[in-house]
Structure 1
Amino acid sequence: MTNRPNFLFIITDQHRADHLGCAGNKTVKTPNIDAIAAKGTRWDRFYVANPICMPNRASIMTGRMSSAHGARHNGIPLSKDHTTFVELLRDAGYRTGLIGKSHLQSFTGLPATNQFEPAEGLHTPSPHLRDAKKNNRQTPEYDLEVLPKWDRPLADRIDGDFYGFDHVEIAADHADQASGDYALWARGQRADFDQLVGPDNALPDERINAPQAWRTAVPEDLYSTNWIADRSEAWLAERAGEDAPFFLQMSFPDPHHPFTPPGRYWNMYDPQEIELPETFGKGHLPPIKAMQDAMENGTDPRDNQNPFAVTQDEARSIIALTYGMITMIDDAIGRVLKRLEDLGLAEDTIVIFTSDHGDYMGDHGLMLKLLLHYQGITRVPFIWHDPTSPTGGQVEQGLGSSIDIAATILARAGVQPYNGIQGRDLHSTEPPEAVIIEEDSQRTMTGFDRPQRVRTIVTDQYRMSLREGEEWHELYHLTSDPGEIENLYDKPAGQTARRELTELMLRRIIWLQDRSPLPAYRA
C-alpha cells in the first residue's frame, strides 16, 4: 500500500453495537462484518456525539459536536460553511464517492416544528434578521434531498461536489420506502414499482403483528440494500487502474424502521427463538411509565419517529426482522469486499464499519431512539481494518466518539486537519477520560411536556445524563449495572460520583467549545 491508502467507509443506520456476531451476539448472522473485525480492530466502547441521524452524520463529516456545527437535530442541514473531512481528502487528490444514504439535508419537506413567531406589540425583524446566524440554511441549496422535489438524480442538480463528494447516488428515507436516486432507478426497472412499496401493498403474513412491520412486496434484487451494493461495485470497478486514491462511503438506510426485510430475509429469524433483553419491563423513569401506559390505553399510534413501548411478542418480532435486515446488509458487504479483491484493490484499501446511532430494540420495553441515552442508542459499532497493519481481531476498550472518525481517516491519509476539528486520531492518541453526547429534540414526545435538551457524560464506569427544565436526571454505574436500571442520581450511594462527574462534564464541555474561526490579526 502507498502512503495514500484507499478507504471503504461502510455506515449503517440505527444499528446497535451488540447487533453483530463479532460483538457477542449469538443469533444474528454477520460473517462478513465479523471477518473485517477478525483482521482489524473493533472498538467496544464507541459512542455517538448525538443519537439522531442528521446531527451525528454531520458530526462524522466534520469531526465536530452538533453544538459546534449547528445541526442540532433532524431538520437542520449541515451548513456548507462548515468544512468536511471529505473535502480535505478531495483537496488532497482523492476521488470521493457517496452511494446510499446521505441525510446531511432534510428529506421530508414537512414544515418545521419550531418557527420564528412574531411577538404581539413588538416590531418583527425582517426575515433575514430573525436568527442569530444570517445564513440560516433555508435556501434552495439546502433542499437537495427533499423527496417531493426529487424528479431527477441529485448529481444532475448540483454544481460541483456535494459536501466533498465528487460522485453521489443517494437512497433517502428507509426500508422499503427508500427513495431518492434509488427510487428513480427502481421505477426504471419496473413501471409498477410504487405499487410494491409500503404497508398498503404488503404481502400477507399473519406470523408478524408489530408496529411499523410489514412484508414488503419489493423483491430482493430491487431493494435498496442490493442497489447500494451494485452501485458500489460499479464505482469501484471504475477506480481500478487509476493512480488517484479513493474514498467511498457506502451508506445503508437499514436496519432503521420500518421493519421490512425483503424476500428470504423476512423469515430468516424466528421471533419465537429471539431472547428478550434482560431489561425488558424494567425501568422506572417517568417517560418509560408514560409510554407503557400509552401503549396499554391505545393512545400512542406507534407509527412515527417517536419512541414507543412494545409487548414481548412485538419486541421479539421486531428484533427478528431487524436481524434479517442486518444479515442482508452483511451479504451485500460481502459482495463488495469480494469485488475489491477481484479488482486487486483490497490490499490498498482500509475498510471501516460503523453506524450513526442505535435503537432501544426492546431495552426497558421500548423501541426506536430519542430522549433516553441508554447504551442501546448511544453505543455503536466501530471497526477498522488496515491491510498493511492487521491487528488480528484486537478489541479496543478505550472510549471513542463519532467525532473521532474524521481525524482518524485524515491522519491515515496523511492530510492535516482543519482548525476547529474536535475529534482525535484513534490510533496515535490516548482515549479521553470521558465522552460527551448531546441531544436537542424539536418536538414534545410521550412522557414529556416540552422538547428535551439533554447532555450526557460517559466514562469507563459511569453514565450521567442531565436535562434542562426537568426535576429528574440519571446516573448509572455501568460496571455493576450494565442494564442501566438502578438510577443513582438522587441516592446516597451516587453522590460522590455525581459531584465528580458534574465537574468532569463541565471540563469536557469547556474543552469542546469551538476554536473556529482563527483570528484575523495578532492581538
Structure 2
Amino acid sequence: MTQRPNFLFIITDQHRADHLGCGGNPIVRTPNIDGLAARGTMWDRFYVANPICMPNRASIMTGRMCSAHGARHNGIPLSRDHTTFVELLRDAGYSTGLIGKSHLQSFTGLPATNRFEPAEGLHAPSPHLRDAIKNNRHTAEYDLEVAPKWDKPLAERTGGDFYGFEHVEVAADHGDQASGDYLLWARQQRADFDQLVGPDNALPDNRITAPQAWRTAVPEELYCTSWIAERSAAWLTERAADDAPFFLQMSFPDPHHPFTPPGRYWDMYDPADIALPDSFGQGDLPPLRAMRQALAAGTDPRDNQNPFAVTEDEARAIIALTYGMITMIDDAIGRVLTRLEALGLAENTVVIFTSDHGDYMGDHGLMLKLLLHYQSIIRVPFIWHDPATPAQGRIDPGLASSIDIAPTILARAGIQPYNGIQGRDLWSAPPPEAVIVEEDSQRAMTGFDRPQRVRTVVTDRHRMSLREGEDWHELYDLAADPGEMQNLYDASEGQPARQALTEIMLRRMIALQDRSPLPAYRA
C-alpha cells in the first residue's frame, strides 16, 4: 500500500493575497512562504466563501457555504451536527492536531446582537420553539472557546474530540491580547504576564501612531506567534515516532488587528517606505462617503471590529506594522519547516498555506473588513506544496474557493468525501465559471442604517455584489479596473455584463443548493 501523506495546514488571519513576496509585494519579507510557492503551486484567484473569521473557517472545515452549514457570522458556532473533513481524516486513521486559532465557536462572551423578541399582543413560542432549528447552538458544548471562562486547557474539556481534532492547543483573540490555552501557558512563564499586555502597558514609541496599534511589552519569545510555532514543532516531534499519518492545522491569529508586533518586528518596516494603494480615498459608494465624513468629524470610534477610514499616515503605519506581523509569522513557519525536515517528515508532508480572509489595508482609505467585497478582503493566498508532485512555482489562474480546501485534502489522502460537500478537488475538477461570496452582518455599521445581506459573484473578469434592501449595488470590470474604482452597475456600458452576471450568479447559487441529507428511502 502506498504510504499515505501527512498534511501541515497553515492558516493566517486577515491576510490579503498580495501581502506576500510571492504575491507580488516588493516590501514585505516572506522567504519561507515564498519558498513553498517556489516549490509548489499558488492560486492567483482564490476567494473566500465569506470574508469573516468564523463563517469562512466553518466553510474550510466543512467544504460547504455558510448558507449550508449555518454559521453565517461571528457569534454563530459551527454545529457539531455538521461533518468536517478532519473527522473523515481521523476516521481513516490520521492523527489530527490543531494548534493556534480555532474560532469555530465564539470567544468574546459578549451578549448576542440579534435575539428573539416577543411581539406585543401575540403568543410567544416557548424558548425551544423560537428558532427554525431546534439545536440552536446555545448549549454549553458551544461555549468551549469563550475566553473569560478559559480556566483550564481546552483539551481537558473536549473529551478528545473537537470537530475531529484529537489534539488541541488553542489561542483565542488576536495580537498581544490573545488568550485561551496560550494565555494559560504565558502566565506560567511569567507571573506578571498580564501586566505586559494591552495599550495601558505598552512600551513608549513616538514614531508610530494609529488606531488599535501599540508597542507591546510582551517579548518575542512569549508572543502567541512564537508559542504556536514552538507547540507545533513539539507535536510534530511526537509524530516522528508514530506510524499513523498526521494532519496538523497550525493557525496564527495574526496579522489581524490589534497591530502589536513584538520586539524587532515593531519597527522592522518604516511607514515612510509604504506606498498607498491607488484607490486610497477613491470611490463614491454611500458607506465610503459616510466613513470619510466620520473620520473628518472624529465621530467614528475606530476601536472595534467595524471597518473605518484612516488618514494617509495612519494607513502607512498600520501597513508597516502588519508587515512586521507577517514577517514574524514567516520566521515561525521557517522554524517549523526546519523541524519537519530534521525529523525526516518533509518528504511525505503536503504543506498548505492560506488565510481566512483579507483586510482593506488602505484600499479606498479603509481598514479591517466587512460589508464591501473589494478584492483585498475576499481574495486570499493559497499555496499547495506536495513533495510527491513538485510544481516549481506554478501559478494556477483558475477560480477557486475556501470550500475547495476540504475536498482537495480528502482526495490527496485517498478518502471519499461525505454527501453534501460543495467544493471541488482542485487537481481533478475544472474551475467553475464563477465563485460566490456570502455575507450576513448582524449589526449596523458606519454608513449603513441596517445589517447587510450581501451576495457577490466573481468571474474571470468581473465582480458583482448585490444587497438586500439597498438601492445601490456594485459591478466592476476587474481587467480594466483592478482597483475597483468605477462602479458600472447603473452605467449604460455595464448593462450587458450586469445581465450576464445575474444569470451566472443564479446558476452558481442553484449549483450550491444543499444536497444533504440523503433521502431515507428510494422513490
Which residue of structure 1 aligns with residue 478 of structure 2?
478
Deviations 1:444-488 (A, max 9, x none): 000000000000000000000000000000000000000000000
Which residue of structure 2 aligns with residue 362 of structure 1?
362
Question: In structure 1, how many angstroms separate the alpha carbons of the residues matched to 2:389 and 2:118?
Answer: 59
Deviations 1:36-88 (A, max 9, x none): 00000000000000000000000000000000000000000000000000000
Equivalent position amino acid for 1:202 in 2: A
Q: What is the total number of aligned residue pairs between the two structures?
A: 523
**Cα pair 1:3 1:413 within 8 Å, conserved:** no
Equivalent position amino acid for 1:196 in 2: L
**Cα pair 1:102 1:251 within 8 Å, conserved:** yes
Question: What are the residue-to-residue correspondences of 1:386-405 with 2, within 5 Å?
Answer: 386-405=386-405
Residue 23 of structure 1 and its aligned partner are, at CA, apart by 1.0
**Cα pair 1:73 1:440 within 8 Å, conserved:** yes
SS in 1 for 2:33: helix
Which residue of structure 1 aligns with residue 206 of structure 2?
206
Which residue of structure 2 aligns with residue 42 of structure 1?
42
Question: In structure 1, how many angstroms separate the alpha carbons of the residues matched to 2:491 and 2:157?
Answer: 57
Equivalent position amino acid for 1:155 in 2: A
Deviations 1:381-437 (A, max 9, x none): 000000010000000000000000000000000000000000000001111100000
Which residue of structure 1 aligns with residue 156 of structure 2?
156
**Cα pair 2:160 2:167 within 8 Å, conserved:** no
Deviations 1:331-380 (A, max 9, x none): 00000000000000000100000000000000000000000000000000
**Cα pair 2:401 2:423 within 8 Å, conserved:** yes
**Cα pair 2:73 2:439 within 8 Å, conserved:** yes
Which residue of structure 1 aligns with residue 263 of structure 2?
263
Question: In structure 2, how many angstroms separate the alpha carbons of the residues matched to 1:197 and 1:426?
Answer: 42
Equivalent position amino acid for 1:180 in 2: G
Q: Which runs of 5+ in 1 are unaligned?
A: none
Which residue of structure 2 aligns with residue 467 of structure 1?
467
TM-score (norm: length of structure 1): 1.00
Question: In structure 1, how many angstroms separate the alpha carbons of the residues matched to 2:131 and 2:185?
Answer: 39
Structure-2 change in CA distance of 1:198 and 1:276 (3 Å): same
**Cα pair 1:452 1:468 within 8 Å, conserved:** yes
**Cα pair 2:69 2:79 within 8 Å, conserved:** yes
SS in 2 for 1:425: coil
**Cα pair 1:61 1:86 within 8 Å, conserved:** yes
Which residue of structure 2 aligns with residue 216 of structure 1?
216
Question: In structure 2, how many angstroms separate the alpha carbons of the residues matched to 1:121 and 1:442?
Answer: 26
Question: In structure 1, how many angstroms separate the alpha carbons of the residues matched to 2:3 and 2:127?
Answer: 50
Equivalent position amino acid for 2:433 in 1: E
RMSD: 0.6
Equivalent position amino acid for 2:206 in 1: E
Question: In structure 2, how many angstroms separate the alpha carbons of the residues matched to 1:460 and 1:198?
Answer: 43
SS in 2 for 1:176: helix
**Cα pair 2:453 2:467 within 8 Å, conserved:** yes
Which residue of structure 2 aligns with residue 277 of structure 1?
277
Question: In structure 1, how many angstroms separate the alpha carbons of the residues matched to 2:3 and 2:461?
Answer: 38
SS in 2 for 1:157: helix
SS in 2 for 1:45: strand
Which residue of structure 2 aligns with residue 342 of structure 1?
342
Question: In structure 2, how many angstroms separate the alpha carbons of the residues matched to 1:228 and 1:259?
Answer: 18
Question: What are the residue-to-residue correspondences of 1:134-213 with 2, within 5 Å?
Answer: 134-213=134-213
Question: In structure 2, how many angstroms separate the alpha carbons of the residues matched to 1:159 and 1:119?
Answer: 41
**Cα pair 1:319 1:361 within 8 Å, conserved:** yes
**Cα pair 1:17 1:376 within 8 Å, conserved:** yes
Which residue of structure 2 aligns with residue 72 of structure 1?
72
Which residue of structure 2 aligns with residue 294 of structure 1?
294
**Cα pair 1:150 1:180 within 8 Å, conserved:** yes
Which residue of structure 1 aligns with residue 53 of structure 2?
53
**Cα pair 1:233 1:339 within 8 Å, conserved:** yes
SS in 1 for 2:398: coil
Residue 241 of structure 1 and its aligned partner are, at CA, apart by 2.4
Structure-2 change in CA distance of 1:3 and 1:431 (3 Å): farther
Which residue of structure 2 aligns with residue 331 of structure 1?
331
Equivalent position amino acid for 1:146 in 2: V
Residue 3 of structure 1 and its aligned partner are, at CA, apart by 4.1
SS in 2 for 1:230: helix
Question: In structure 2, how many angstroms separate the alpha carbons of the residues matched to 1:395 and 1:46?
Answer: 11
Please say if 1:303 is aligned against 2:303.
Answer: yes
Residue 227 of structure 1 and its aligned partner are, at CA, apart by 0.1
Which residue of structure 2 aligns with residue 9 of structure 1?
9
Question: In structure 2, how many angstroms separate the alpha carbons of the residues matched to 1:488 and 1:27?
Answer: 33
Question: In structure 2, how many angstroms separate the alpha carbons of the residues matched to 1:88 and 1:522?
Answer: 26
Equivalent position amino acid for 1:402 in 2: S
SS in 2 for 1:153: coil
Deviations 1:207-240 (A, max 9, x none): 0110000000000000000000000000000000
Equivalent position amino acid for 2:313 in 1: D
Question: In structure 1, how many angstroms separate the alpha carbons of the residues matched to 2:182 and 2:201?
Answer: 19
Question: In structure 2, how many angstroms separate the alpha carbons of the residues matched to 1:317 and 1:158?
Answer: 41
SS in 2 for 1:319: helix
Question: What are the residue-to-residue correspondences of 1:222-241 with 2, within 5 Å?
Answer: 222-241=222-241
Question: In structure 2, how many angstroms separate the alpha carbons of the residues matched to 1:394 and 1:140?
Answer: 46
**Cα pair 1:2 1:348 within 8 Å, conserved:** no
Residue 242 of structure 1 and its aligned partner are, at CA, apart by 1.3
Equivalent position amino acid for 2:64 in 1: R
Question: In structure 2, how many angstroms separate the alpha carbons of the residues matched to 1:389 and 1:345?
Answer: 16
Question: In structure 1, how many angstroms separate the alpha carbons of the residues matched to 2:294 and 2:319?
Answer: 21
TM-score (norm: length of structure 2): 1.00
Deviations 1:155-203 (A, max 9, x none): 0111131000000000000000000000000000000000100000000
Q: Which runs of 5+ in 2 are unaligned?
A: none
Equivalent position amino acid for 1:480 in 2: A
Question: What are the residue-to-residue correspondences of 1:433-512 with 2, within 5 Å?
Answer: 433-512=433-512
Equivalent position amino acid for 1:77 in 2: P
Question: What are the residue-to-residue correspondences of 1:236-255 with 2, within 5 Å?
Answer: 236-255=236-255
Question: What are the residue-to-residue correspondences of 1:408-423 with 2, within 5 Å?
Answer: 408-423=408-423
Structure-2 change in CA distance of 1:43 and 1:122 (3 Å): same
Deviations 1:13-41 (A, max 9, x none): 00000000011100000000000000000
Equivalent position amino acid for 1:378 in 2: I
